[in-house]
A and B are shown apart, each in its own frame.
Chain A
Amino acid sequence: MAKFNSVRLDSDKCMGCINCIKRCPTQAIRVRDRKAYIISDFCIDCGECIRICPHHAKLPVYDPVSVIHDFEYTVALPAPTLYAQFNNLEDTDIVLNALLKMGFDDVFEVSAGAEIVSEVSRKFINAHPEGKPYISTACPSVVRLVRVRFPNLIEHLLPISSPMDVAAIFARRRAMEKTGLPADKIGIIFISPCPAKMTSVKAPIGIGRSEVDAVVAIKDIYPLLLPLMSDSNDNYDIADSGKIGISWSKSGGEASGLLTDNYLAADGIENVIQVLEDLEDEKISHLDFIELNACPGGCVGGTLTVENPYVARAKINHLRKYMPVSKAHDVSDTNAIYLDREIEYLPVFRIGNDMKDSIKKMADIDKLQKRFPGLDCGACGAPTCRALAEDVIMGRATERDCIYFLKDYIGESCNISEK
Chain B
Amino acid sequence: MNLEFTYTVDPDDFTRAGEASADIKKKLKKMNVPHEAVRKVAIAMYEGEINMVIHANGGIITVFVNEDFITMVLADKGPGIPDVEKAMQEGFSTAPDNIRALGFGAGMGLPNMKKYTDEMKIDTVIGEGTTVTMKVNL
Interface residues of A (CB under 8 A from B): 149, 151-152, 277, 280-283, 345, 347, 349-360, 362-363, 366
Contacts and interface: CB of A to CB of B under 8 A. Distances in A.
Given A356-B1, A360-B1, A149 B29 contact: yes
A352 B29 CA distance: 11
B136 to A, nearest CB: 13
B1 A359 contact: yes
A283 B39 CA distance: 12
Contacts of B33: 355, 358
B66 A359 contact: yes
Contact of A358 (B32, B35, B36): B32
Contacts of B30: 349-351, 358, 362
A349 B67 contact: no
B43 A281 contact: yes
B3 A359 contact: yes
Given A359-B66, A363-B3, A352 B32 contact: yes
Nearest to B38: A152
Contacts of A353: 32
Given A345-B35, A354-B32, A355-B67, A362 B43 contact: no
A128 B5 CA distance: 41
Contacts of B2: 359
A351 B124 CA distance: 38
Contacts of B29: 149, 347, 349-350
**Prevailing SS type, chain A contact patch:** helix
Q: Which of A345, A352, A362 has the most CB of B within 10 A?
A: A362
Q: Which of A277, A281, A351, A352 has the most CB of B within 10 A?
A: A281
Interface string B18-42: 1001100101011111011011001
A359 B42 contact: no
Contacts of B36: 152
Contacts of A366: 5
11 contacts: A280-B25, A280-B42, A281-B25, A283-B46, A349-B30, A350-B29, A351-B31, A352-B32, A355-B138, A357-B32, A359-B67
B65 interface: yes
A355 B35 contact: no
A349 B35 CA distance: 13
Counting contact residues on chain B (CB < 8 A from A), the size range is 20 to 34
A100 B35 CA distance: 50
A175 B1 CA distance: 64
B99 to A, nearest CB: 16
A359 B33 CA distance: 10
B55 to A, nearest CB: 19
A362 B5 CA distance: 11
A361 to B, nearest CB: 8
Contact of A152 (B22, B39, B66): B39
A145 B29 CA distance: 14
Contacts of A363: 1, 3
Nearest to B22: A277
Contact of A282 (B18, B22, B43, B138): B43
Nearest to B103: A283
A149 B71 CA distance: 23
Nearest to B39: A152
B66 to A, nearest CB: 7
A280 B32 contact: no
Contacts of B32: 350, 352-355, 357-358
Contacts of A360: 1
A352 B31 contact: yes
B21 A355 contact: no
Contact of B39 (A280, A350, A357, A358): A280
A358 B1 CA distance: 11
Listed from nearest, the 3 A-B pairs whose CB atoms lie closest are A358-B31, A151-B35, A355-B32
Interface in B28-82: 29-33, 35-36, 38-39, 42-43, 46, 65-67
Interface in B75-122: none
Contact of A362 (B25, B31, B35): B31
